[in-house]
Amino acid sequence: MINHSLKLPISLKVSISIFIVFWLIIAAFPFIWTLWGSFKIEADFFSKADWMNALFAPRTIAEKGGAFTGDGYYGAWVQENFWQAVINTTLVCFFVVGTSLTIGTLGGYALSRSSYKYTFWLLITALIFRAMPPITLVAGYLLPFYEWNLWGHLATTVIVLVAINQPFTLWMLHSFFQKIPKELDESAKVDGCTQFQAFRHVIIPVMWPGVITTGLFSFLLAYNDFAITSMLLSQNNQTMMPKIASFMGTTQTEGNVMFAVAAVVSTTAPLFIMVMFFQRQIVSGLTAGAVKG
């Protein structure tokens, strides 16, 4: 299948190319279209009269004097304080990734180096926890969080997201650590290191590829979460996802939709850049779980 591409009959070659182009359009066109449309006014991007308006923007030109307008972005970022949500998301992502990697590497390392049966049961428990839809846990958080005035704070959400993230992090790091030969830290221990010293001086220097890959997925979870953040954060502390959802809620008044469009584009842009730089790690992370099971 791999080196046969030259021998493919021409008809098959053509249909494969058509299919790939078709798939690429499906996958990428919505984003390109929305990026383009975010610089128009609503009457053009959502044009009842003619879809070509979104391309040539006659109304935008008539109203704003040019084919492109940053009004949507100004409205979202300045008028509706989207910048605040961006800062909140940055904080949440930073601390979620930091904390879950710290406690995850310790736990994952321990799981990969212990040969007792209980490691298996711990991994199974983690798998069961991983299967729980996060929203089902929220009802359990609300009462105590109200009672102790923990509700609405970024810190609380960070801890909850870290915990929800742990099962996945553990599984992934566990399989990465298993690929690091045990002899490395065994020999350090023979030389008189404690387990922690062996971890610190021998394992930490070689664990980064696995940790970076796991970190990317922790980041994605924190960045993309809507269920938890929308339920646990107060109005002022909202991250980007609940903020965008609230744009949708505040009735579809003229222009407000374009705020949401601009916010969506602003949210997607960092992910774009991330995929560009870390494509290999993301692919390897996705397949690591699969190959290992």
Partner 1 sequence: MKHKTFFWFFLPTASAMLLFIALPIFSIVIQSLFTPHDAVIIVTENCDPFGCKQETTIDQEATRDLKKSEPLGKFVGLEIYKDRGHLAVNEIKEIWVESNNFAEFRNNIGNLPFYRAMAFTLTFTFTVTPLMLVFGFIIALAVNSLHQNLKGLTIFFSLLPMIVSPLIGSLVLFWMIDSRGIIGEALQYVFEDPDLSLKASTGLTWVMLIVYGVWHAAPFSFVVFYAGLQTLPMDTIESAKIDGASRLQQVWYVVIPHLMPLITFVALMQLMDNFRVFEPIVGFSAEAHAQSLSWFIFNDLGGETRLLSSAATSSVLTIIGVSILLFPVLIRTWCDFNEKSAK
Residues 90-109 that bind partner 1 (CB under 8 A): 102-104, 106-107, 109
Q: What is the DSSP secondary structure assignment for residue 46, as one 8-state letter? A: T
115-134 residues in contact with partner 1 (CB under 8 A) are 115-116, 120, 122-129, 131-134
CB of 111 to partner 1, least distance (A): 7
Q: Counting Cβ atoms within 10 Å, is residue 139 exposed (0-12), middle (13-18) or buried (19+)?
A: exposed
Radius of gyration of the chain (CA): 24
CA distance 236 to 8: 59
Token pair for residue 180? 């690091």
Interface with partner 1 includes 36 (CB under 8 A)? no
- Restricted to residues 128-167, the positions that interact with partner 1 (CB under 8 A) are 128-129, 131-144, 147, 159-160, 162-164, 166-167
> Measured from the CB atom, is 62 or 248 closer to partner 1?
248
How many chain residues bind partner 1 (CB under 8 A)?
Answer: 104
State the minimum distance, in angstroms, from the CB of residue 24 to partner 1: 5
Site for partner 1 (CB under 8 A): which residue of 93, 211, 231, 262?
231
The distance of closest approach from Cβ of residue 65 to partner 1 in the complex, given in angstroms and rounded to an integer, is: 24
